[in-house]
Amino acid sequence: MSWSKRIALIALVAFVAAMGGTYAGRALLAPEKQTETELHALLHTELDLDAAQQAKIEAIEQRFAARRKALELEMRAANAHLAAAMQTEHGYGPEVTAAIDHTHMVMGEMQKETLEHLFAMRAVLRPDQAVKFDRTVTRALTPDTR
C-alpha cells in the first residue's frame, strides 16, 4: 500500500473514531434529556406546585440551564481535542489518553451537576410530591427494568 493511501486510511479511521466518540457522548447524555422532559412535565402539570414552589423551581432550572449549556460547550471542545489528538498521534498515545480522560471528566461533571439540580428541585417539594418525583426519576433512569 502506498504512503498516501496509508495516510488516507489513518485519517479515515481517526475520523470514524472521533465521530464514534461524539456519538457515544451524545448517547450518554440523551437519557438525561429524557429524564428532564419527564420531570418537567411532572413538575409543571402533575404535582400541583404552589406559587412559591414554582418560583423556586424556575430559578433552579434557569441556573442549571446556563450551567448545562457551558458543560455541553466544554464537551464539544473535549471531542474536538480528542479528534485533534487522534489526528496527531494516529494511535492510542498519551495525548489521546489525556483527551479521553478530559472527555470523561466533563461527562462526569454533567452527571454530578444534573443530580445536584434534581436534588435541589426535590428539596422544594412536599413529601407527597417528592414520592411522585422519586418514582419518575427512578423510571427515567432505569427504562430497561420496566
Cell triple for 34: 429524557
d(CA 85, CA 92): 9
pLDDT in the model for residue 133: 85
Write out the chain's pLDDT in tens, 146 residues.
666 666 655 654 555 555 555 555 555 555 444 545 666 777 777 888 899 999 998 899 899 999 989 999 999 999 999 999 999 988 888 999 999 999 999 999 998 998 898 899 899 999 998 998 888 888 877 877 65
